[in-house]
Structure 1
Amino acid sequence: MSKNTYDASNITVLEGLDAVRKRPGMYIGSTGERGLHHLVYEVVDNSVDEALAGYCTDINISLMPDGSLQVVDNGRGIPVDMHPVEKKPALEVVLTVLHAGGKFGDGGYSVSGGLHGVGISVVNALSTDLAVQVKRDGFNWFQEYKLGVPQAPVRKGEATTDTGTTVTFWPSSEIFETTDFSFEVLSTRFREMAFLNKGLVLTLTDLRPGHVDEKGEPLYVRYHYEGGIIDFVKHLNQTKGETHKSIISFVADETKHKMSLEVAMQWNAGFTESVYTFANTIHTHEGGAHEEGFRTALTSVVNKFGEEWGFIRKKEDRLTGEDIREGLTAIVSIKLAEPQFEGQTKTKLGNTEAKSFTQKSMNDHLTSWFEQNPGEGKDIVRKSIDAAAARVAARKARDLSRNRKGLLEGRGMPGKLADCQWTEPEKCELYIVEGDSAGGSTKGGRDSRYQAVLPIRGKILNVEKARIDRVLQNNEVQSLITALGTGIHDDFDVAKLRYHKIILMADADVDGQHIRTLLLTLLFRFMRPLIENGFVYLAQPPLYKLKWGG
């Protein structure tokens, strides 16, 4: 079969569509906002598959005034000839049979995006209406559906020399909790897609009434990155100082398992690791084989050159992976023919061959880069050694903190906890307030049975810009950590939380907003489960006070 062949014989059918409307969560994850947006990604993934195969350059997505969403691409168009097995047009098969598409088997696409891989038919099944227009084989072709059922056979329209597919769908309000698409959620995802598919143009237009910019024009974004993931790293590092000028990047291919790998990375002056991994353009939040290979090779190569250049003299001085990844921004994007997704959210890559391929490719290319760029390489090693020193200091600080007396017994604390009487955490609240003055008035107005108050002095340390050893030496941070009782990072235990409502109460001004942001950053970086599990609240302080008489 010719490489360029893409017709009905490439469409492989795995199973029917009956169960989708009964159990939509099995196919798109949920019927909430996340599931709603997954419908969009399924349609756009079809167009991205055409781009990966080299046949599509532009994908235009529009949020329509009537609540529908439209996706237009300039790919080859979904085939419309008769399917050899199903005995109906391939277009109808793709839209009515689950898992039918050019992603399966040896025909069609060698690499395909999409997390669940259920295909566009699931979008059809979960929509009240769907309309498709295909430009292919010299003509326009049309078909309409209601609740996944074709309303008429595929019909032939006017002649055209163009190619492409247009899909418009109206999600079912009986199935989804909301049918209101988020421009922000979609634009974030499409920017990511554009970074991962070098040269692809993605546009998003919001034509819904009232969805306009400051000039009164419809919301619109256009994403196009000729630099691909190199531009992605530049974007992520644009507000951070750099440790070295160059962005390390490479591309590698493996023919046996039909894999390709792209990596771009650069260390910045910050202290946070920002390594993002993708498999077939899907963000693998839980990592997996490719991330393991990347980390193993990175740790090995940096230690190797640290020893060669005389920075590391003893075995016990070897750098840990965490030391080396401090301040690292990296994009690891692998594409493979048959990805195996695992984990709680199916965003962990399980292909073992991806680990060895990524590890070998990283080892070869990173070694070559360090050999050719010793000046910048030494800057990276020095930064990693500084991180190791901070790690040791932080461990000592944590040990010291654990051995200290609790907050209630401590002396010289800048903020004094006024605790509550009840001891059941699920009934207790902690108000974190700005300064002793606010602390005094809050204590006077609280219900001391279940409401505790912790005043903090002014603006706490910005933990985003400080190493952990400095963070743990800060009195205000120590007071808060001890009052909450959970510990931090690896020592965190939500079962030890002393209050199930942590309420941040600062003034309704710019300084108050800054204090809230600093506190949220501390909780997010050191005690993230508190935010994820809904224990953290923001109080809404009054802006004005009205006084009657006297």
Structure 2
Amino acid sequence: MLYGAAAFRKRPGMYIGSTGPRGLHVLVYEIADRPVNGTPAGRAASVDITLTADGGVRVADDVAGEADGPGLEAWLTRTGPGTGFQGRDRVLLGGFGVGPAVVNALSRRMTAEVRYDGVLWAQEYARGAAVTPLTETGTTARNGTVITFWPDADIFGSAECSADALEDRLRDFVGFLDGHEAAHGPGDTIAFVHEDSRMAGVMDLAFRWCDRSGERVRSFANSRATLSGTHVVGFRDGVAAAVSTYARESGLLAPMDPDVPADRVGEGLTAVVSVKLDRPEFLGAIREQLGNIEARACVARAVREHLGQWLRADSERAAAVVGRIVAGS
């Protein structure tokens, strides 16, 4: 049976989901996971990610380092049971939570620089193994870690990281997604934060309709980007229910007409659907789908109530949004 770096290199898809660009991005997230989680706790003020000209990725932070004797090498070469997904304040940036050892194993080269307690330490690795000892290389007045890695072409071929994809993962706001298009839309943003004990968590949603085709819906669970999940299904359920109710009340739907289906509410829609749960359950190869069943009903109920109030507050604005959806259904 293979363990450690050998296992990661034998079946990389089990740990990062892909040996293409998507998998490369997971490597970046695994390195950035520790400083990103240090930011809410006040242990980190900055995380800087740079794509180097020679195909490497440099992740620098100002978190107190890992170099306490064997600490650095252990952090970069050993895996435990994973960090898990407990707690709504845990930012789930990486893949399986197995950490930087996966990145090290799948990199042809990795360098680590750690500034800790006035000392600058350095070490170099190749394909998961240390090739130099942990060395004291100077003094410093700052704390922080700089990890630079070059993904192994034997694993990833000619795949490259995308700066746009990394930037998109690390920032998502409705205003940013819409840009200037939103200024010409039929209504304002519906945004609310709501805690629901039935799903043991809190939801944070913002959405609006604009005068353009298609939809853009981004979803997150415990600050981790998700491709789909029960929170997204619940969001669509809630929108469809609120729109159907308002359409009947205003005469846009006849009594015998069917309700507006959830898959028809997205035309012109931009939304960010985020939940933070005490006990998130993730599905899929690299856990990008939320599976908590109770999240669907809770999000749907909250969206139905808030959107319903928004529609009833302005009949002209509501007619622009609901009329468009009903006409398309």
Same fold (TM over 0.5): yes
Aligned to 2:73: 92
| Match in the other structure for 2:31 | 43
SS in 1 for 2:26: helix
SS of alignment partner, residue 332 of structure 1: strand
Q: Which residue of 1 aligns with 2:191?
A: 249
Partners of 1:343 and 1:298 lie apart in 2 by: 26
Describe the shift of the 1:356–1:157 C-alpha distance in structure 2 as closer, same or farther (beyond 3 A): farther
C-alpha deviation, 1:19, in angstroms = 0.5
Deviation for aligned residue 1:20: 0.7
Shift, 1:177, TM fit: 0.9
1:105 Cα offset (Å): 7.6
CA contact (8 A) 1:326 1:384 kept: no
Other structure's SS at 2:191 match: strand
Listed as ranges, the matches of 1:351-430 within 5 Å are 351-370=292-311, 374-375=313-314, 378-391=316-329
1:251 is displaced (CA, Å) by 2.6
Which position in structure 2 is the counterpart of 1:304? 245
User: What does residue 114 of structure 2 align with?
Assistant: 134
Aligned to 1:169: 149
Partner of 1:276: 218
| Structure 1 equivalent of residue 163 of structure 2 | 186
TM-superposed CA distance for 1:240, in Å, is 8.2
**Quick one: which of 234, 242, 250 aligns to 2:178?**
234
TM-score (norm 1): 0.52
- Structure 1: how far apart are the matches of 2:50 and 2:169? 18
Partner of 1:77: 64
Rounded Cα–Cα distance in structure 1 between residues aligned with 2:65 and 2:297: 36
In the other structure, the counterpart of 1:491 is none
Maintained 8 Å contact 1:251/1:260:
yes
How far does residue 148 in structure 1 lie from its aligned partner after superposition? 1.2
Which SS does the other structure have where 1:114 is aligned? coil
Q: What is the rounded CA distance, in whole Å, between the counterparts of 1:254 and 1:97 in structure 2?
A: 38
- Tell me how large the CA RMSD over aligned residues is: 3.4
Distance 2:85 2:184 in 1: 47
Which blocks of at least 5 consecutive residues in structure 1 are unaligned?
1-14, 83-87, 196-228, 392-550
Conserved? CA contact 1:110–1:337, under 8 Å: no
Segments of 5+ residues of structure 2 without an aligned counterpart are: none
The 2-side partners of 1:298 and 1:253 are apart by: 19
Q: Within 1, Cα distance between the matches of 2:125 and 2:195?
A: 41
Query: Which structure 2 residues correspond to residues 438-453 of structure 1 after superposition, within 5 A?
Result: none
Q: One-letter code of the match for 1:362? A: V
Query: Cα offset for 1:291?
Result: 0.7
Q: Distance in 1 between matches of 2:186 and 2:25?
A: 38
SS of equivalent to 2:153:
coil
- Report Cα offsets for 1:431-453 as digits up to 9, x if no partner: xxxxxxxxxxxxxxxxxxxxxxx
Counterpart contact for 2:238–2:304, Cα < 8 Å: yes
Which entry has the higher C-alpha Rg, 1 or 2?
1
Q: SS at 1:30's partner residue?
A: coil
Seen in structure 2, the aligned counterparts of structure 1 residues 20 and 281 have a Cα distance that, compared at 3 Å, is same
Q: Distance in 2 between the 1:382 and 1:333 partners?
A: 26
Superposed CA offset, 1:236-263 (max 9, x none): x62884121x112123345786634321
1:251–1:261: 8 Å Cα contact kept in structure 2? yes
> Which shifted more, 269-278 or 247-256?
247-256
Partners of 1:137 and 1:363 lie apart in 2 by 53
Change (3 A) 1:294 1:33: closer
String of CA shifts for 1:269-294, please: whole Å, max 9, x gaps. Answer: 23423322233444433x21111111
Among all aligned residue pairs of Structure 1 and Structure 2, give the percentage whose two residues are the same amino acid.
Answer: 33
Aligned equivalent of 1:295: 236
CA 1:135/1:339 → structure 2, altered by over 3 Å: closer, same or farther? farther
TM-score by length of 2: 0.82
Once the two structures are TM-superposed, the CA of residue 69 in structure 1 deviates from its matched residue by 1.8
Pair 111,141 (structure 1): closer, same or farther in 2 beyond 3 Å:
same
CA deviation profile, 1:282-316 (whole Å, cap 9, x unmatched):
4433x211111111111222333334455445152
- Deviation of residue 47 (structure 1)? 3.3
User: What SS does structure 2 have at the residue aligned with 1:112?
Assistant: coil
Mark the CA change 1:321 to 1:136 in structure 2 (over 3 Å): closer, same or farther: same
Query: How many residues of Structure 1 are paired with residues of Structure 2 in the alignment?
Result: 327
Query: Equivalent residue of 2:322, what SS?
Result: helix
Residue aligned with 1:356, SS = helix
